[in-house]
Amino acid sequence: MTSPEKWQSWLASRNRFFSDPTGFLSITTIAWLDENLQEVTGVSGQWYVVGDTIWVKNSNSGDHSWKVTEDTEIDFDGIKVELAIRNNQLVVRPRDPNSEMLKSFDSVITFEYDPNFMVKAKLIPFDAPKEMLVGTVVEGMTVGYVSPGALEFELAGQTFRLTAFDKVGSQDLVIIYKDATSGISSYGTGRSVTASHQEDDSYLIDFNFSGNFPCSYTDFATCPIAPVENRLPISIEAGEKKPLYRNTVSGVVSQVHQ
């Protein structure tokens, strides 16, 4: 079972995650590279791609290249710089511990803990696990998940089903969902929550542990959005709320009245 004490521990871990000096809130931009030379905000030089290799010329330390077959981080211009593959395209994301977005972060904002949002669910399995493509905040980009089926539960006197996804290395499942608070008091593209596997093969969903994806804080991430079938018509006033600020190409802006 979950508890307010475990919830407080979870909040502390969420604050550590978002306050990481090389985490998502330290990202100053995302540059989608091609064969054309381009400048990348936050680092020196002109960046471009040849095949699976990222090149930079005329940087503060000269010319460099890195073959990129998986996400990696390098030390460059005194900061961490992420080299990654997204949507079959190579990208660069500088991570500056002195970024304005990171400085603006105080702590995650949440609804009050409410035990009424802890429910028991049963898995309604598919005939066989399905590979599913889930959309992201980047137009045309999808992320692949494996779903064993839908979790069915009762909440506020109604019965709901949410498609669930495998969690690597665990019997638990992950749900990405929207609800009536999405885009108002919580972030618009959805939140995620873990469904904990129980000894009787049921699942415990505590919506108080609903967390935001990094995209709730920054334009420079590529997070998934909730599948259409995972949009609840009721308000889940539990878990993380919409952050106060957001990092954009125009700088750090308020999200309070958006």
Where in the chain are the domains? Answer: 29-95, 106-249
CA-CA distance, 254 to 243, in Å (whole number)? 9
CA-CA distance, 49 to 206, in Å (whole number)? 45
Determine the 3-state secondary structure of 185 from DSSP. coil
Averages of pLDDT over runs of 10 residues in the chain (258 residues) are 86 97 96 97 96 96 96 96 94 96 96 97 97 94 96 97 96 98 95 97 98 96 96 98 95 79
Per-residue confidence (pLDDT) for residue 17, from 0 to 100: 97
Beta bridge partners of 84: 91
Using a 10 angstrom Cβ sphere, with 0-12 exposed, 13-18 middle and 19 or more buried, the burial of residue 218 is buried
Q: What are phi and psi of 113, to 5 degrees?
A: -60, 130
CA-CA distance, 13 to 217, in Å (whole number)? 17
Per-residue confidence (pLDDT) for residue 4, from 0 to 100: 85
Q: Note the Cα 154 to chain centre separation in Å.
A: 27
Residue 223 identity: C
Per-residue confidence (pLDDT) for residue 25, from 0 to 100: 97
Any idea what DSSP says for residue 112?
P
Per-residue confidence (pLDDT) for residue 58, from 0 to 100: 95
Per-residue confidence (pLDDT) for residue 258, from 0 to 100: 45
Any idea what DSSP says for residue 2?
-
**CA nearest neighbour of 126 among 168, 89, 184, 173:** 173
